[in-house]
Structure 1
Amino acid sequence: METTSRVGPQGMSGGTQADGAAPATRGASAAHKAVDGYLRADFPWYGLDEAFTGPRWLMQVGAAADSVVEHGSTGHGDFPSLRLEASPEGQRFTVVVTVASRPVRRSGDGTGVLDATSVSTVAWLAGSGLLSCTWPTEMERGLRQDWLDQQTAIAWELADDLGGPGWSGLSLPVDGVPADFHYRESEYGWVLAGAAQEGVLVGAYGRGMSAYGLGFSVVGDITGYAH
């Protein structure tokens, strides 16, 4: 797979913070910090189009060692919670992942290059993002890490084999134009990955909201997600 070094489900190698990190809604200072990261990006951000009228919120951006922003996520619906009092089955959310398509990326120390980003990259980020917010909280603590390691390995292998039987095709509008996505479902939710306009890769993951019928569009004002 043409992607960064393998890491856990919290994000890509060199990322500043997990896609599963607390959203910008957790206080004004967090909101401003999150927005600042998104405003530093040299590529457009994607979210659900205007047909979605529910809550919108930000997670944190991921950046390379040289602080260049490489990916981030916009949230829609309920913010996924792993707290015991929250019922995962009752949560309805869709998280849209945007990744800069970079054929060549310099390493942080300037001595070499990193692997290119690809649709597999966004598939991995979306799959690991879903894992980070849907793992079974009722599981005995000592088994959780083993479960997470196992599921992370499966998500990695699936992202590396987008043409395999684990994926099906799904056409959804991106900026009003039909686009092809790789799509898969599991008992924990769904994941999809594809390309948007030139230079941008788009993926998504969700639970409780069907992927069928969703539409994606460029976010005109990212500050509107930081409520």
Structure 2
Amino acid sequence: MDDEVELPVGVGPWEGPWPSDSRYDPELLAAGDRRNVVDRYRYWRRDAIVADLDRVRHPFHVAIENWQHDFNIGTVVRTANAFLAREVHIVGRRRWNRRGAMVTDRYQHIRHHADVDELLAWAADSRLPVIGIDNLPGAVPLETVELPRACVLLFGQEGPGLSDSARAGLDLVCSIAQFGSTRSINAGVASGIAMHAWIRRYAV
């Protein structure tokens, strides 16, 4: 079997007369655009992309607790960008591993909260219910719930799940149906399932 040839990602330099639209980046037009962006944003300046996304962002927020430098946070950010969440909220440690985000954090609004109480206070001021996603006793199956249109979806630390302080302040806890031997799925996967449940109800 012949060795597979890895094709370059993105597009090369702009061919033909350059567009006059100020959203286009002269450096990208000249050198090509190899970024992880959809085709409609090829050659656009990053701030122009963010501004365009801000016009149509969905009203749900995603929050994740970060007490032990959870490696899933990058995946959560990348998924939130894919589903166009309003913001991602990091609760706890400010630093997080960005590798899994695949530079999507450049296009996603991210807010930090020192602790859960700060997040809950912000949500209350913003009149947003906080929905915890965790397989806890008494949790309502996500598959049977209609999520609020404007809300915060909160995920816990990998392993222990939602902290006690987070559980105490939630408006609702939803579980994700599982059928295998494992007790839980990781926060990155759980966040994608929960966000897609919101998307199926309000955006499709």
Q: TM-score range by the shorter chain?
A: under 0.3
Larger relative contact order, structure 1 or 2 (CA cutoff 8 Å, min sep 6): 1
User: Going by fraction, where is helix more abundant, 1 or 2?
Assistant: 2
Q: Normalised by the size of structure 1, how large is the TM-score?
A: 0.24
User: Going by fraction, where is strand more abundant, 1 or 2?
Assistant: 1
